[in-house]
Amino acid sequence: MARPQTDIEAGRAELLTVVDDLVRKRGAVDISMTDLAAAAGMSPSNLYRFFENKEALLEAVAERFFEDKSKIMVEVTESDLPVRNKMYEFFARRFLVMVQKYEAEPDLLKSYLEIGQQHFEVVRGYVDLGDHYLSLIVAEAMEQGYFQGLSIDETVSLINQMIHCYTNPESIIYIGTGKLRVEKLAHIVDAMFNGLGVQASAELTKESHIKIVS
Amino acid sequence: MARPQTDIEAGRAELLTVVDDLVRKRGAVDISMTDLAAAAGMSPSNLYRFFENKEALLEAVAERFFEDKSKIMVEVTESDLPVRNKMYEFFARRFLVMVQKYEAEPDLLKSYLEIGQQHFEVVRGYVDLGDHYLSLIVAEAMEQGYFQGLSIDETVSLINQMIHCYTNPESIIYIGTGKLRVEKLAHIVDAMFNGLGVQASAELTKESHIKIVS
């Protein structure tokens, strides 16, 4: 008889905390199903009731890793905040969650980031999801006259580049929370809304004096 | 008798190409003076005529690594371009040099970046130099009324964050030159000049609804 769904869910959540412990102990080394079964004190065949294969396990790890961030994205996008505040909170809240995670257990975050790089196929969906929600906010801003002359995709890409330091967890590690502050993020969001769009930028590249010095 | 200075200079330049070869062959492993002497086919005591110690060698490696970028920074800052174009070229030219280096020998660049991380004390001076030249351009822009309500240091920090993708060589590797383009950089520079300064940003953080979701 199949276990009831809630038992499976509870078992999975418990197994994910065992994964945490393994990552704490071993760092970003690959965790096999056999390792996990041993660490959880269950037989491999029992483990497969919870995660049918390694991919399912990795997806569950990613889902939990991005859970808070996904929640924030939905909440902010669906809120009735003014669009500029939406943009700010879309980035600021997730940044603060990341800082909190980093400060609680820096090494655990670093290890998960490495695991994420090794299995980028699992992470890609979450990156795309972020772009999806961002483009909803951008479309709303465009209806109000912002980002004139740019397409949604161009705007999404420019915004992602301008706030890269606040979305890339590596930045928190290398630039540090002394320099990365939500007050600065607010200035950058303002620069987007006040300055990104029909501009003299065509002129900048057209009249460019760029020579490669070599 | 001491060798004439020009001979020393020529010898150093030659030894730096031997360092390139060693890095190509071995990657980012630490190169000792003994290794370098052996690879150059000279005695260690002869090598010490060119570099008095390991630190002097590392400084010479960094100096050559940043040579093009330093030249561009001086040239652009001292030019009589309009200040907005100065800002653009200050970042765009160095970005293009970096792309060129990366495309010519990606692995060599990656290895030097790793070596730079291992010896960040040698790199720090060049980062500070970049901030110094950037603050000259910012001061010039402020005289023309840009970035009102911000200090030079705040503006330098905000600009560094907004164009981080174009100055951080890791970005070229991980984001790629498909997404990082000087046309986008021009838009970001415009957003700085048109949008960074006395804004509603105080409002954004004051009225913030930020809650940490956990």
Q: What is the CATH number of the domain that holds A24?
A: 1.10.10.60
Q: Residue B5 is part of which domain span?
A: 1-52
pLDDT tens, residue by residue, A168-213: 988 888 888 899 999 999 999 999 999 998 655 555 665 555 544 4
How close B183 gets to chain A, by Cα (Å)? 7
Q: What confidence tens digit (pLDDT) does each residue in A31-45 have? A: 899 999 999 999 999
pTM, two decimals, is 0.87
Q: Could B194 and A199 be called an inter-chain contact, meaning their C-beta atoms sit closer than 8 Å?
A: yes
Same domain for B43 and B94, yes or no, is no
pLDDT at A214: 40
The count of structural domains within chain B is: 2
Q: pLDDT band for position B213 (50/70/90)? A: very low
pLDDT, averaged across chain B: 90
Instruction: Tell me the shortest Cα–Cα distance from A169 to chain B, in angstroms.
Output: 13
In whole angstroms, give the CA distance from residue A22 to residue A38: 11
- CA-based nearest residue in chain A for residue B149: A187
Chain A residues within an 8 Å CB radius of B194: 191, 194-195, 199
Residue A201: inside a domain = no
A195 touches chain B (CB under 8 A): yes
- What is d(CA A4, CA A15) in angstroms, rounded to the nearest whole number? 17
Is B3 within 8 Å of B49 (Cβ atoms)?
Answer: yes
Q: Which amino acid is at A49?
A: R
With CB atoms and an 8 Å threshold, state whether A204 touches B96: no
Q: What is the pLDDT of residues A97-123, one digit of tens each?
A: 999 999 999 999 999 999 998 998 999
CATH number, domain with residue B147: 1.10.357.10
pLDDT of B128-149, one tens digit each? 999 999 999 999 999 999 999 9
**Choice between B209 and A63, residue whose per-residue pLDDT is larger:** A63
pLDDT of residue B5 exceeding 80: no
Q: Which residues of chain A neighbour B177 with C-beta distances below 8 Å?
A: none
Is residue B123 in some structural domain?
yes
Mean pLDDT for all residues in chain A: 90
Residue A204 lies in a domain: no
For residue A59, is it within any domain? no
Residues A8 and A101 in one domain: no
Interface touch A204/B97, C-beta < 8 Å:
no
Residue A13 and residue A106 in one domain: no
Tell me the C-alpha distance between B38 and B41, whole Å.
5
Shared-domain flag, residues A111 and A164: yes
Q: Which residues of B touch A195 (CB under 8 A)?
A: 190-196
* Residues A160 and A78 occupy one common structural domain: yes
B18 located within any domain: yes
Q: Are residues B34 and B129 in the same domain?
A: no
Report yes or no: A17 and A23 within 8 Å, Cβ to Cβ: no
- Say yes or no: B79 and B172 in one domain: yes
Please tell me the distance in Å from A47's CA to the nearest CA on chain B.
28
Q: Are residues A15 and A48 in the same domain?
A: yes
Provide CB contacts within 8 A for B30, sequence distance 6+: B118
Same domain? For B89 and B32 the reply is no
The answer to whether residue B81 neighbours chain A at the CB level (below 8 Å) is yes
pLDDT tens for A70-86 read 999 999 999 999 999 99
Distance CA B127, CA B133 (A): 10
ipTM confidence: 0.86
Same domain, A97 and A186: yes
pLDDT in tens, B75-98: 999 999 999 999 999 999 999 999
* Section B14-21 average pLDDT: 95
Say which amino acid occupies A66: F
Domain check: are A96 and A26 in the same one?
no
